[in-house]
Every structure is written in structure tokens, then in C-alpha cells.
Amino acid sequence: MADYFRIDGGHALHGTIAPMGNKNAALPLLAAALLTDEPLVVRNVPDIGDVRTKLALLESMGVSTSLDDNVCRLDARGVRDGNPDLALWSRIRTGVLLSGPLLARFGRAVIGRPGGDRIGRRRLDTHLLALRGLGARIKEEAGLHVLRTERLQGTELFLDEMSVTGTEQAVLAAVLADGTTTIANAAMEPHVQDLCHCLNAMGARISGIGTHGLTIEGVTRLGGADFTIGPDYIEVGSLIGLAAATGSRIRIENARPHEHRMTAIMFGRLGVRWDVDGDAIVVPAEQELAVVPDFGAAVPTIGDMPWPGFPPDLMSIAVVLATQSEGTVLIHEKMFEGRMVFTDRLIAMGARIIPCDPFRAVVIGRSELRGENLVSPDIRAGMALVIAALAAKGESTIHNVGQIDRGYERLEQRLGGLGAHIDRLPE
């Protein structure tokens, strides 16, 4: 049965919270279990909808899985043919990351239509070009891309875009390839680094981790490992936005402040500041948010970029923050043409937003938001609407919270611990 959130906004929050494990690290690491017939243990795995779907997808192929207390145990020794359940495949974006391991282990894989957030076109060309470069033969059959190979071969890859999942696909395929693979124009987000470190713990030989150039010396087999993924920096950024938008003092433990230098710059353009205490970020209460103009009193821009730039998944949070900051700012989403669609919900709440085109919107703050009946269109916009509802005066309802559950674990319980007036109710 579907649920919805009922939120009574306008109340300051207070307390300490820690982020869950990085969702975008957990999902490719689960696919890495297919590369070995030994057990793989992954710790700090968030118990969220997308992870549960990925585990069900692996189980449909014969992988033994369990997830208890954020510890995931996987054993792929029982996998025989590697045919995934395509219905489950289509529910999450990272189903596509099974293709590289399946090619490496069985010499055959299929790529169907990926799922995930509907925030614009999310092309698969980078994946297919990388796998073809490693020696896969690709044929379209019944609407699917069917890939075959006798054995993948090391090669020089220059990715046509700095794609996170495209980089992860190439890495997952290349670790068991014959020879050396170099990947130029590689993504270097923290979750890409986690994947590479985990694979090295399994016996892979990957160097250049944390840069845009990776070198992978193929090995003949991988073993098991016990690996702990890092905190979800998108959740940390979301919590910073929540604190600033609601005028709350929130301490975020295990925040890895060094991962938020660009977020500090972009949120700083809205007047947001925070303090660092060891590995914690402390957002002070009752900040007077005001847009900081560029030199010459020009309207500043908040835009996303590949890592170490401002993360696309925080753009929705930035829009809500901008509604609570005095002044005018341009929000420029460069990667996904559907990301700004949710702004119509904020306008209904009283925000002054001028949509310019699918990629840009001008936000004029500060707006006094009011409670509204809302529907979550995707994970990140859903979290942004939760923040807007907590900042607004009056009661809001947010439906389709299953989208939010895909990326945030027990959100209403954890925010309730900070004093948020948020309840989960059945539809």
C-alpha cells in the first residue's frame, strides 16, 4: 500500500544526525558480487527501495543475498547463466551495471531499458561504446542490446562524457579483461572511488583512483572482500539545506567536510554557512540568508558540474534554498532537462520562480511558503519538497513517497528525531 507524508511546517529543528551510506556506492558494489564466486560483505549499505530492488534482481539470477543492520552479504557462486529479471531491471537505473560483470564472467549480457528517476534523457551510449571497446559484440534483439564476447580485452578508452555509471561499467568489465585498460575522461565521484577501492580489496589492480584517468591491469580472478562504503554526501548536502531553509541548528556527524567544498561555494552564494568540528558539519540556527551578488552586482548562478563540481543531485535542494534567501539567483541545471519540472510545486506553495527553459530558472527570494498538497516526482525533488514543506507555514501532504524511499532511509523517523513534525500515513 502506498504511503504519504503529512508535514506541519514552520518549526525549527535541533539535534544531531548522521548520514546513511552512499546509495550510489552501494548499487554498483552489489553488482561487483557477480565478479567472484567468493562471499562479498558490504557494510554501511542503506536499507532503501533501490537497494532492495537491486538485491531482488541479483536473487533472480541465483545470487544469495541478505541485508541486516545495514550489512549486506552476497554470494554469487550459484549463478549459472546470468539472465536477469528484466522487469526488475527496468525499475532502477543501475540494473545496467550488471552487464559488465556478466560479460566478464559468462561472455554474454543484455542491456534493457533502464529505470530510475525520470529527469530527462539518460543515454546508454557511453556504456555500450566502452564495452564494445573492450571487445564486446553488440546486436539488437527484440528491443534489447545483446552483448557477447569470448573474453574481454584490455584497451585504451576515452569516454565520450564524464559519465559516472559509464565509468563504473568500464571498470567492472575491465578488471577481468586480458591485458591493461586505461580509461580517460573518467568520472571521479566518491562512489566511483569506493567501487575501485572495493574491487582492489577483491584482488583487482586499479590505479589512478580519484582522478579522471584510471589504469586497470586485468587479473584472471577476483576473491571476496569485506568493505565499508562511505557516507552519502548527497544526504549530507540535503541535511545542510534542510537546516538552512528552516533556520535550524543541526550537527551532521561523519560528514566528510572535505567532500563539500564546492557545496560550500554554491550554497554560500545563497548566504548559507556552516562550521566544521572534526569530521562533523554544524549548521548554525537562524541564519539570515541573502544572495551574494557576483562582482559588479551581477546576478549569481548556481550550476552543476561533474565531480569535484556541484552535484546534480543537490540542484533541487538549491532551488528550495534560493526561495528562502533574499535576492535573485539563476539556477542552471546543465545535465538533465527534466530536473526543473518540479518547480511548479514550489510556485504553488508561494515561491517566486521564473522558468526560463528546461534547464534554467530564476528564483526571487525570500518567499513565505505555505502548506500545499504535493506529489513527489523523483528522489531528489521529493526530498526538496520535504524541506520546502518543513520550511512552510501550515500543513502539507506529500504523496508518492515511495520515490523518496528509493534514496532516503527511514526519513520521517530520522527527521522526527530532530523535531520535525512529519508523519507517514497510508493512502
* DSSP 8-state symbol, 197: H
The Cα 367–Cα 289 span in angstroms is 12
Total-model pTM: 0.94
Q: What whole-number distance in Å separates Cα of residue 105 and Cα of residue 65? A: 19
Contacting residues for 88 by C-beta, under 8 A, at least 6 apart = 53, 56, 57, 60, 95
Annotated catalytic residue within 50, 75, 117, 405: 117
Enclosing H/E stretch for 265: helix 261-268
Residue 117: per-residue pLDDT? 47
Check if the beta carbon of residue 111 is closer than 8 Å to that of residue 173: no
CATH superfamily of 23-228: Enolpyruvate transferase domain (3.65.10.10)
Q: Which residues pair with 290 in a beta bridge?
A: 326
Q: Show the cell assigned to 222.
A: 577476483
Architecture of the domain defined by 3-20+231-426: Alpha-beta prism (3.65)
Q: Which three cell numbers stand for residue 53?
A: 530492488
What is the predicted pLDDT for the residue at 119? 46
- The C-alpha atoms of residue 85 and residue 37 are separated, in whole angstroms, by 20
Q: Name the residue ranges covered by the structural domains of the chain.
A: 3-20+231-426, 23-228
At residue 116, the pLDDT reads 45
- Asked if residue 109 lies in contact with residue 120, where contact means CB atoms within 8 angstroms, the answer is no
- pLDDT of the chain, 427 residues: tens digit per residue: 689 999 999 999 999 999 999 999 999 999 999 999 999 999 999 999 999 999 999 999 999 999 999 999 999 998 977 677 878 877 787 789 999 999 999 999 888 766 544 544 557 899 999 999 999 999 988 778 899 999 999 999 999 999 999 999 999 999 999 999 999 999 999 999 999 999 999 999 999 999 999 999 999 999 999 999 999 999 999 999 999 999 999 999 999 999 999 999 999 999 999 999 999 999 999 999 999 999 999 999 999 999 999 999 999 999 999 999 999 999 999 987 778 889 999 999 999 999 999 899 999 999 999 999 999 999 999 999 999 999 999 999 999 999 999 999 999 999 999 999 999 999 9
The answer to whether residues 312 and 335 touch, using CB atoms and an 8 Å cutoff, is yes
Question: Is 68 an active-site residue?
Answer: no
In this chain, the answer to whether the domains covering 3-20+231-426 and 23-228 adopt an identical fold is: yes
Which whole-number Å values give the CA distances from 186 to 96, 165, 213, in the listed order? 18, 10, 6
